[in-house]
């Protein structure tokens, strides 16, 4: 797909999660943000309600879009879905690394022929999960061990990086190299409610730990002034963001 594993895209590390109910709310929020200061994420709820049209509208507004649908299916189905995402022109797309080697190989192959392939990222362990969740599913590994196993599988399959908690970033950086992109949700500013997230860090902590991209939702979108909240986050990490 790319000659350099884990290619990174210059610009702000912040990806604002537009986890809202419909296109109108997403576009209204995006209109208050500056595409020079952040990218945006379109997830399952918004995409299911609004479809590809909302992605195209956000792109026309100047935003690079992370299509966060976490594809996890048989190899052929995932490959076809990724081709469709590439046709939309999205900047980043993801698949569940737990889909296994054949699915990951099919994902990479599907994007190889694309003129402008999106970054292809593997999801390791959701940041809403902790050790008790893994144990209930029958895994004997710790969260850190499982994340490392899935990240190294992802890297060996040729994907561009992984979604992980920033808490796991130092170990993944050592194992997968400097070029491997680390995308970290579970970001909360000091004092914010962690809600359903378990493995959370602040923006500054995430960057200091080695994260490349920070997916930030409620700390911006639930703020009375999203623009001020975004600017405060960028100011917080600006001293640590240069890598």
34 is catalytic: no
- Confidence bin at 202 (pLDDT 50/70/90): confident
Q: What are the residue ranges spanned by the domains of the chain?
A: 14-237
Instruction: Give catalytic status of residue 193 as yes or no.
Output: no
152 is annotated as contributing to ligand binding: no
Q: Does domain 14-237 have CATH number 3.20.20.70?
A: yes
Structure confidence by residue, pLDDT tens digits, 59-117: 999 999 999 999 999 999 999 999 999 999 999 999 999 999 999 999 999 999 898 99
> According to the annotation, is 127 in a ligand binding site?
yes
Whole-number pLDDT of residue 149: 97
In sequence order, the 6+-apart residues with CB closer than 8 A to the CB of 233 are 14, 189, 203, 216, 219, 220
Catalytic residue, chosen from 22, 44, 73, 240, is: 73
The reply to whether 221 sits in an annotated binding site is no
Range with the lowest mean pLDDT among 27-31, 72-76, 164-168, 237-241? 237-241
Is 19 annotated to bind ligand? yes
Q: With b meaning 16 or more CB within 10 Å and e meaning fewer, what string describes 195-214?
A: eebbbbbbbbbbbbbbbbbb
Q: What average pLDDT does range 47-60 have in this prediction?
A: 98
Which of 34, 44, 70, 212 is the catalytic position? Answer: 70
Out of 22, 34, 44, 68, the active site residue is 68
pTM > 0.85 = yes
> CA–CA separation, 57 vs 84, rounded Å?
17
Look at the alpha carbons of 40, 45, 51, 57 in this order and tell me if their dihedral is positive or negative.
negative
Residue 188's pLDDT band, with cuts at 50, 70 and 90, is: low
Active site residue 44: no
**167 assigned ligand-binding residue:** no
């Amino acid at each position: 797909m790319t000659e350099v594993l884990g290619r990174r895209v210059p610009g702000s590390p912040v990806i604002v999660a537009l986890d809202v109910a419909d296109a109108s709310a997403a576009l209204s929020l995006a209109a208050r943000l500056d595409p020079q200061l952040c990218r945006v994420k379109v997830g399952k709820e918004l995409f299911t309600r609004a479809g590809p049209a909302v992605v195209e509208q956000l792109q026309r507004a100047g935003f690079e879009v992370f299509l966060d649908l976490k594809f996890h299916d048989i190899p052929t189905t995932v490959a076809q879905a990724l081709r469709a995402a590439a046709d939309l022109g999205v900047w980043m797309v993801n698949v569940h690394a737990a889909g296994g080697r054949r699915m990951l190989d099919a994902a990479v192959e599907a994007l190889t022929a694309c003129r402008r392939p999106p970054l292809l990222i593997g999801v390791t362990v959701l940041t809403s999960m902790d050790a008790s969740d893994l144990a209930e599913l029958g895994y004997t590994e710790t969260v850190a061990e499982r994340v490392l196993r899935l990240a190294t599988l992802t890297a060996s399959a040729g994907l561009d990086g992984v979604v992980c908690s920033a808490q796991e970033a130092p170990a993944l950086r050592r194992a997968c190299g400097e070029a491997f992109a680390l995308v970290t949700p579970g970001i909360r500013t000091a004092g914010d409610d962690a809600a359903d997230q378990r493995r959370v860090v602040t923006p500054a902590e995430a960057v200091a730990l080695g994260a490349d991209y920070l997916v930030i939702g409620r700390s911006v979108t639930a703020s009375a002034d999203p623009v001020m909240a975004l600017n405060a986050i960028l100011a917080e990490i600006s001293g640590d963001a240069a890598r």
